[in-house]
Amino acid sequence: MRPLLIISFAFIFGLLPLAVAHGAGAVGNKSIGISAIGGMLIGTIFGVLVVPVLFIFFQSLQERLSKHKIETIDDTDF
């Protein structure tokens, strides 16, 4: 998890000069910088909070379904 956060925050801090640009073309640079920073923040939050929760949910679902299949196979006598 630490490498994910380090890379994400380094990218976000690297975009800060683009987001606070001044001079010619500053409007375009600001819009690109702010949108890239926002997207990276949302992606990082999604990757850190939502993905592990979904993994736990689907893992428990798989365990319940595979346990059910094993019980039904064991109940039959060959």
**Overall pTM surpassing 0.85 (yes/no):** no
pLDDT of residue 73: 61
Residues of the domain holding 36? 2-75
| pLDDT exceeds 80 at position 76 | no
Rounded Cα distance, 48 and 1, in Å: 8
pLDDT tens, residue by residue, 12-65: 999 999 999 998 889 999 999 999 999 999 999 999 999 999 999 999 999 888
Q: Looking at the chain, how many residues does it have?
A: 78
Rounded Cα distance, 6 and 78, in Å: 57
Helical H segments across the chain, by residue range: 2-19, 26-45, 51-75
Total domain count for the chain?
1
**Which has the closest alpha carbon to 19: 3, 41, 4?**
41
pLDDT of residue 44: 93
